[in-house]
């Protein structure tokens, strides 16, 4: 096993596993995971952008609760496919990804988006049915802006990570 920083030894172990070797050597596994990941992120980000823009007032038609009922199941489905497909790609080159500052920025943006999501669902979102038709509370607008920024940054870093 090559020398790696002590903090990356677990990543090297993942890379040297039989599963990771199969991912790297297969003609189909990595490309299928990559394609699935891109499509899943399109679903996830597309639904989030629609909902966030509705909260921010850019898509003023309809109630925010109705937008949530339509967009959030699509976002959840995208997430369900994005995570395992992303993990398949990650295990193939775990140490290299963890040494990539752009990939680490992606993880940071995802963590910020997840924290924002948890706070939003624990607070403003609980009262979404009570929001006036066109005026979500300021805390919801802030959450929408943070979400839009964090998920956009995560997607950009995900695409740029291959070039650094």
pLDDT, tens digit only, all 164 positions of the chain: 344 566 688 989 999 999 999 999 999 999 999 999 999 999 999 999 999 999 998 877 778 899 999 999 999 999 999 999 999 999 999 999 999 999 999 999 999 999 999 999 999 898 998 887 768 899 999 999 999 999 999 999 999 998 98
Dist. CA 65–CA 71, nearest whole Å? 10
Looking at residue 43, what is its pLDDT?
97
Provide the mean pLDDT of the chain. Answer: 92
What pLDDT was estimated at residue 59?
Answer: 78
User: Which strand (E) or helix (H) includes residue 62?
Assistant: none
Q: How far is CA 22 from CA 11, 18, 78, 142, in A?
A: 16, 6, 25, 44
Q: Is the pTM of this model over 0.85?
A: yes
Q: Which of 128, 119, 110 is nearest to 64 (CA)?
A: 128
- For residues 63, 69, 72, 78, the Cα torsion angle rounded to the nearest 10 degrees is -130
Instruction: Say what the pLDDT of residue 102 is.
Output: 97
Q: How far apart are CA 131 and CA 6, in angstroms?
A: 51
User: Which pLDDT belongs to residue 2?
Assistant: 46
């Amino acid at each position: 096993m090559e020398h790696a920083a002590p903090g990356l030894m677990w990543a090297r172990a993942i890379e040297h596993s039989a599963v990771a070797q199969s991912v790297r050597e297969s003609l189909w596994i990595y490309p299928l995971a990559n394609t699935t990941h891109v499509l899943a992120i399109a679903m996830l980000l597309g639904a989030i952008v629609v909902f966030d823009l509705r909260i921010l007032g850019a898509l003023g038609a309809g109630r925010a609760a109705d937008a949530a009922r339509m967009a959030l199941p699509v976002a959840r489905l995208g997430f369900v496919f994005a995570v395992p497909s992303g993990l398949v790609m990650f295990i193939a080159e775990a140490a290299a990804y963890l040494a990539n500052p752009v990939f680490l920025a992606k993880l940071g943006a995802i963590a910020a988006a997840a924290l924002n999501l948890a706070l939003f669902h624990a607070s403003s979102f609980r009262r979404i049915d009570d929001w006036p038709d066109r005026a979500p509370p300021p805390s919801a607008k802030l959450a929408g802006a943070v979400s839009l920024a964090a998920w956009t940054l995560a997607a950009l870093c995900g695409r740029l990570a291959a070039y650094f």
